[in-house]
A and B are shown apart, each in its own frame.
Chain A
Amino acid sequence: MTRSKRMVVHVVAEPRQRARRIPLRHGSEVGDLLRKMGLLREEFIVMAKGRVVTEFEPLKDKDQVRLIRVFAGG
């Protein structure tokens, strides 16, 4: 079985709810996703399947991920 080297993760960022598709290398983790998006780990909480996950969480093709911004301001 051959595996594609790339995958796409669907990302929804709160509170603005803009959906994005982020291409990643196969075998990437949540930390790689944040790096790819140019985001700081300090500023976001990542949720997958409704649960908070660490930066080491492995991602699969077509995974849905929600980012919650920590610093809303005000």
Chain B
Amino acid sequence: MDTRCDFCTAKARYFQRHSGTRFCGRCFTKSLRRRVWREIGKNKIIADSRSMVFAVSGGKDSVACLDIVHPLGKARKIQMAVLTIDEGIHGYRPEGIKRARKAARAGGLEFHVASFKQEFGADLDSIIKRLGSPKRACTYCGVLRRWILNKRARQLGADRLITGHNLDDEAESALLNLIRGDPARLARSGPEYLLSHEKLVSRGKPLRGVPGKEALLYDIFNGLDVHLGSCPYAEFDFRNAVRGFLNRVEEDRPTSKSSFLSTVDRLSAQARPLFAGTKLVECSRCGEPTVGTECKACQLLRSVGLL
């Protein structure tokens, strides 16, 4: 027997396990958009923005995020642009850049690419060669990518950097911070980045409550072209193990990820006063905002002889 959508008579395409709801493609799209709009309103993601930059990798999350948020920005006459980072990962990144460019064009937005090679004089592949092992690839890639994103978004005049982080990413990060024993980082995480600095573009994560699977379903139902390939370095990251663990827990008990994340958010809000002394200052070398004297990006670049 066919299963029908709970909201109309169309055939159901998705069963949302945590709510027990069956959706057809169209009703799912409506429901997801509404959820993201609520998140944007609740966390004032675009409330007073005049210029937003979307960090788009061409993957499922950032493309869905752009598709949902961009019409809101347009209605509010916010200036918008798309920024993609070319880390220089052979056989992987070029496909993503293609999709990101296509998504920017579809929204009539300016498209910018910033590369590791331009900024640091070496792409990720050659940094990994210098390291001798891909084990810490994601650490280098993540830190350096965030460094460029902030710098370029600021240069583009943005007061908001919109990223496609989803519920899975956020729950994984929260658990990773707990496992690493990094309560200070945990305390400044949450829907908003709590530290501010004139050189730090404030970030917004409209998909924070959306599971990765639902982001990809949104792309499929709306005919959005996304890059599905896997990064050749991702398998070496510890995040993978944490992701597998959380997915197994979610399989047995749907809603685990979202209740875990909201619990961590509430605890980290309580813990904030303990770390209230943390302030952002300019990095002694590059001038970008950091909590130490030299930022992590400069430390990592120095460790591989690029400074």
Contact = CB atoms under 8 A, between A and B. Distances in A.
Question: A and B bound?
Answer: yes
A57 B247 CA distance: 22
A48 B228 CA distance: 18
Interface in B160-211: 168, 211
A54 B14 CA distance: 5
B289 interface: no
A56 B3 contact: yes
A71 B248 contact: no
Contacts of A68: 216, 220, 228
B213 A52 contact: no
A51 B216 CA distance: 14
Query: Chain B interface residue count: which class?
Result: 35 or more
A45 B217 contact: yes
Interface residues of A, number: 22
Given A51-B13, A54-B13, A56-B3, A74 B233 contact: yes
B234 A52 contact: no
Nearest to A55: B15
Contacts of B15: 54-56
B247 A15 contact: no
A72 B243 CA distance: 12
Interface in B91-111: 92
A74 B237 CA distance: 10
B229 A45 contact: no
B177 to A, nearest CB: 20
Contacts of B250: 40, 42
Central interface residue in A15, A41, A72, by most chain B CB within 10 Å: A72
- Closest 3 A/B residue pairs (Cβ): A74-B231, A73-B234, A72-B230
